[in-house]
Structure 1
Amino acid sequence: MRRLIALLPVLVILGGCSSLSNLFGGNDDDLGPDLPADKLYNEGVYLLNEKNAPKDAVKKFEEVDRQHPYSEWARKSLLMTAYSYYETRQYDEAIGAAKRYVTMHPGSPDVAYAQYLIGASYYDQIPDVTRDQTRTEKAIQSLEEVIRKYPTSEYAAQARKKIEVGRDHLAAKEMEVARYYMQKKNFIGAINRFKVVVTQYQTTRHVEEALMRLTECYMMLGIASEAQTAAAVLGHNFPDSPWYKDAYNLVRGGGFEPSENKGSWISRAFKKVGLG
């Protein structure tokens, strides 16, 4: 969705202009107090679609807000400013402009897109799992606002897809830290991290490995009942998973069978979301 076609109106050809060059020609000195708001806005739209020109478009849209702050064109220009910043990967500026739009125009039909743009700007900055995930968390929070406040908007479905990716990313971060703890033989620390994946990110692709690793950690600590439960829950919910084969072999190798303890936190966690 790199082009917000729905928000780009048909250019208004002003009277007395015989060509696009007349309409969009000139330089920054033309940004005077006598320039109509619609002309400034349309120049911004034109520049936004020109190669390497989105930054110039921002100047036009911001000028509308400066010269005509209470006009309908100023409202439209503020959203286009946010979008132009997003196009040029100036994400902090895009977030700032979009937040301003949400605050100033909460009843606008385009407010759902402004909120989505905030989340998308954070989302596009998600770092790899070895780094701090604050941006990922902010992306999810902002996109959840789209779904909560504007569930019927066209952006709700796109927000859900991005949230799913973001949650998977956070789960991957927990797995990375947990594996590190395992390497250091800090099994309690590892269990606490795997527990986060099982309880908070249960619908991600990482939950199968997390259950197997829990089996491994509990076996290393000699807590067989929890190891048996982790293996049993893994086998019940993901019987074809290769991780279940590993968990099964671990438990059997210790002289036990996978067996679910209904009172275990693992069992309760899966029943809570209806997977058990």
Structure 2
Amino acid sequence: MNGRQLGFSAWTAPRLKRYLALAVLAAPLALSACSSKDEFDELALNDTPAEVLFNEGLALRAQGKLRDSTAKFEELDKLYPYSEYSKKSLVNLAYLNYTRGKYTETVTTANRFVTLYPGDPDSAYMLYLVGQSYYRQMPDITRDQATTERAASAYGELLQRFPESEYVPDAQRKLLIVQDQLGGKEMQVGRYYLERRNYVAAVNRFKTVVNNYQTTRHVEEALFRLTEAYYALGVISEAQTAAAVLGHNFPDTQWYKDAYTLLNSGGYEPSEDSGSWISRAFRGIKL
């Protein structure tokens, strides 16, 4: 049987191949379009009232079906964006994601709520969940502390914007832990530089602890390390001031005894220069 009997001539074969290739390429696009259209139609056909969807989400949550409850609140948010029930669904979504350990989703949802409704009382809870999400992901002291800094920022914003919130006491406790870890990281890096006799870099790290983390347990060592670093640099006045401030605030510690011994070995004693940045940093601060 020849080409003419099949209904096409031999010279059309290359063209037919091109048509078939285009058809193969077009098929996934058509399926994708159908899929998107089906999803759109499904949403468009869903005329369930927002109140009903919200109550269904609450019922699923009460039953412990957290994944199904999450899906229900997400559906409500898509169907009725910016509605009062959508607003309530965001609060539930943030809570559900946090409960399920989905911290990235928690932060995204909570931050969206705070952006949309900055003055709403529930924004305090949202900021608390953001802080908690980062807090639970804090790395150990040897690693980068970007997540720890984000926890501090969220807790700090909560305390500043909603000082009367019921979440403030716990946020304050967590913030102390967060700050202690951040101060500890600065100390670790400072000691690293000190051991390598990079005294200027070390001073900068210990200075951060003294200025920003005065109420943490690291401040005593930071003042001693400043005494060490300044003494090694030959900046005796600052070394004496660091030791004097250390002795004034922590007179019975080994850190002060070591600072005093170091200065005394060179014929010096602790003596505070009131114009030093160290003195200014502690002025009015009760430790």
Which residue of structure 2 aligns with residue 204 of structure 1? Answer: 216
Which residue of structure 2 aligns with residue 241 of structure 1? Answer: 253
1:1-276 to 2 correspondence within 5 Å? 33-48=46-61, 53-69=65-81, 71-271=83-283, 273-275=284-286
Structure 2 counterpart SS, 1:41: helix
Give the aligned residue type for 1:57.
S
Q: Compute the displacement of 1:38 (Å).
A: 4.0
Q: Compute the displacement of 1:85 (Å).
A: 1.0
Task: Count matched residues.
Answer: 244
Structure 2 counterpart SS, 1:161: helix
Q: Give ranges in structure 2 of 5+ residues lacking alignment.
A: 1-41
Could you list the per-position Cα deviations for residues 100-141 of structure 1 after superposition, in whole angstroms to 9, with x for gaps in the alignment? 212223343322111222222222222222222222222222
Give the aligned residue type for 2:54.
Y
Q: Compute the displacement of 1:50 (Å).
A: 5.2
Q: Distance in 2 between matches of 1:172 and 1:267?
A: 22
Note closer, same or farther for the CA distance 1:69–1:222 as it changes in structure 2 (3 Å cut): closer
Q: Compute the displacement of 1:34 (Å).
A: 5.0
TM-score (norm 1): 0.80
Q: Distance in 2 between matches of 1:254 and 1:203?
A: 31
Q: Distance in 2 between matches of 1:99 and 1:176?
A: 32
- % identity of equivalent residues: 54
Structure showing the higher helix proportion among its residues: 2
Which residue of structure 2 aligns with residue 23 of structure 1? Answer: none
Q: Compute the displacement of 1:216 (Å).
A: 1.4
Q: Distance in 1 between matches of 2:270 and 2:119?
A: 56
Give the aligned residue type for 1:233.
V
Note closer, same or farther for the CA distance 1:274–1:71 as it changes in structure 2 (3 Å cut): closer
Give the aligned residue type for 1:69.
P
Give the aligned residue type for 1:190.
A
Q: Give ranges in structure 1 of 5+ residues lacking alignment.
A: 1-28
Q: Compute the displacement of 1:195 (Å).
A: 0.8
Could you list the per-position Cα deviations for residues 61-82 of structure 1 after superposition, in whole angstroms to 9, with x for gaps in the alignment? 1122223335433221111101
Could you list the per-position Cα deviations for residues 196-222 of structure 1 after superposition, in whole angstroms to 9, with x for gaps in the alignment? 111121111100000011111222223
Q: Rg larger in 1 or in 2?
A: 2
Give the aligned residue type for 2:285.
G
TM-score (norm 2): 0.77
Q: Distance in 1 between matches of 2:257 and 2:131?
A: 39
Q: Distance in 2 between matches of 1:47 and 1:197?
A: 48
